[in-house]
Every structure is written in C-alpha cells, then in structure tokens.
Amino acid sequence: MPDTTIHILSTRPVSEEMREKASAENILLDTISFIETTPVTDIAVQQEIELASVQQASVVFTSMNAVEAVAGILDGYQPDWQIFCLGFKTRELVINYFGEASLAATASNASELADQILETDLTDEVIFFCGNKRREELPAKLRENKIEVTEIVVYETVENASVIDKPYQGILFFSPSAVESFFSANQTDPETLVFAIGQTTQQTVNRFCTNQVIVSEHPGKDQLVEQAIQYFVTHRNR
C-alpha cells in the first residue's frame, strides 16, 4: 500500500498536544526553529523598563517575547499601565503578568492595533516594547497621527537557518524573520503548501516563492497548526 502520511514542517516549536493531533490524522509534524529570540539584558534597557514601570503609561506589545522580557525584569511587579496588545498568546501573557484590568484594547494585527489606539483617544504618547526586527506598520501609523512613540528594544531576533533534507507537503511560518531565515538556506517544492500566521508573513513568503499561501484565520500559533491539520484532513478525504 502507498504511504499516505502527510509531512508538515513547523518553523517554530509546537505543543505536544498539536503533535498528537497531527499524529492521530497520520500527519507527521516536524519542527525546526529558524530564528532564536533572546531578551536584551544590558543595564540601560533594564533602567528604561524600570523607569517606565513607575509611570502611568500607555504601553504597546505586539509580541509575546516582548511581554516575557519586560515581565522578567519587573519580576512580579504590576505597573499602572494601560496596555494595548495583539490577541491570543500575547494577550494571555499580558493578563497573566499584568492583570486583565490593565488591558485597554487588543487587535489581530499591528495595523489594526494602531487603529484601536487612535480610536480610543486615550493618549498622545505610547511606550512600544519591541524586538530589534519589529515591523514598521504600528509606529509609523501612530506617528503619522501625532502619537509620540518611545521604542524600547527588549529582545533580539537572530536567524538560525538550517538546510531541510526532505520534501514537505506543508510548511508553517509564524513571522517574516523565520521566512527570511528559511529561504536563506532552502527552496520550496512547487507543490508545497505554505501556511502563514498573517498577511505580513504572507507578503514575505511571496518575495521568495510562488507557492500557494494559506493565511491563518486567527493569529495564534496553535490555531495555525490546527488549520494546517484540518486542511490536509479535508483534502485527503476528497
């Protein structure tokens, strides 16, 4: 009998639950991390975070890495912040570290989050905790609308390119940086389906290949994995 196993590559680690879900559908889910993130630990950044923590401030997070980096410095302290953040995992971490009452608004992508900040009309300046490869959409839109943006880089993203040694029916990307790292060492087979966490990641994929790209319906890691699994289950059974 022919092998009907579907092979999927995730470019960041996934939960054991997702692995088991895939396996139950005869889908082999490999994971290779194409980027690494590390918190910035120099004294100047720590002092900036600590100074911000004693202010009543409007704070922006577009990454769970930024939330964890800031929370690691504050070590349980909950500042008097109104926080604007992306949904799903980033939102969960904000609630976990800073309390649900701190949430001012959430959105599914950075551009929509900027719109939320502008619509609330709660502030004319924000502190944006971000990584060294942050996207331009949010700060640019805010500055165009006369919102002062103080950027504090609290984590760094480093490419960790690996050469893949087998074909995959599907590849999952969760950030533009991971896309760039992957394609610095690899190409995709024309028939490989690409799954992207959002439109910015999709646009980055389109710079490197002409493969079909399926964009996530929701901006969560597990949701993208689930969507890929369900796609192959549905199309296998047709």
CATH code of the domain in which 24 resides: 3.40.50.10090
What pLDDT band is residue 73 in, cutting at 50, 70 and 90?
very high
Last residue of a domain, one of 157, 180, 198: 157
Residue 62, CA distances (Å) to 75, 86, 107, 181 in order:
20, 5, 9, 21
Nearest partner of 88 among 225, 221, 232, judged by Cα: 221
Taking all residues of the chain, what is their mean pLDDT, rounded to a whole number? 92
The residues near 153 (Cβ < 8 Å, ≥ 6 apart) are 40, 45, 130, 131, 132, 134
Are residues 53 and 27 both part of a single domain?
no
Residue 66, CA distances (Å) to 178, 193, 216 in order:
17, 30, 22
Are residues 142 and 186 both part of a single domain?
no
User: Average of pLDDT values for 143-168?
Assistant: 94
Are residues 142 and 56 both part of a single domain?
yes
Are residues 13 and 50 both part of a single domain?
no
Are residues 17 and 81 both part of a single domain?
no
Is 1 among the domain residues?
Answer: no
Identify the pLDDT of residue 135. Answer: 86
Rounded to whole angstroms, how far apart are CA atoms 164 and 182? 9
Last residue of a domain, one of 142, 157, 172: 157
Identify the pLDDT of residue 4. Answer: 82
Query: What residues make up the domain containing 217?
Result: 6-34+160-236
Identify the pLDDT of residue 222. Answer: 86
Are residues 150 and 194 both part of a single domain?
no
Report whether pLDDT(149) > 70. Answer: yes
What is the total count of domains within the chain? 2
Is 168 among the domain residues?
Answer: yes
Are residues 51 and 152 both part of a single domain?
yes
Identify the pLDDT of residue 237. Answer: 58
What are the residues facing 106 on neighbouring strands?
85
User: Average of pLDDT values for 48-70?
Assistant: 96
What pLDDT band is residue 173 in, cutting at 50, 70 and 90?
very high
Residue 229 is encoded by which pair of tokens? 């699994």
DSSP assignment string, 150-173: EEEEEEEEEE------S--SEEEE
Last residue of a domain, one of 157, 186, 216: 157
CA angle 154, 159, 190 (to 5 degrees): 135
Is 207 among the domain residues?
Answer: yes
Nearest partner of 133 among 209, 65, 212, 216, judged by Cα: 65
Are residues 68 and 145 both part of a single domain?
yes
Q: Give the dihedral sign, CA 74/78/84/85.
A: positive
Identify the pLDDT of residue 3. Answer: 63
Nearest partner of 196 among 180, 187, 185, 184, judged by Cα: 180
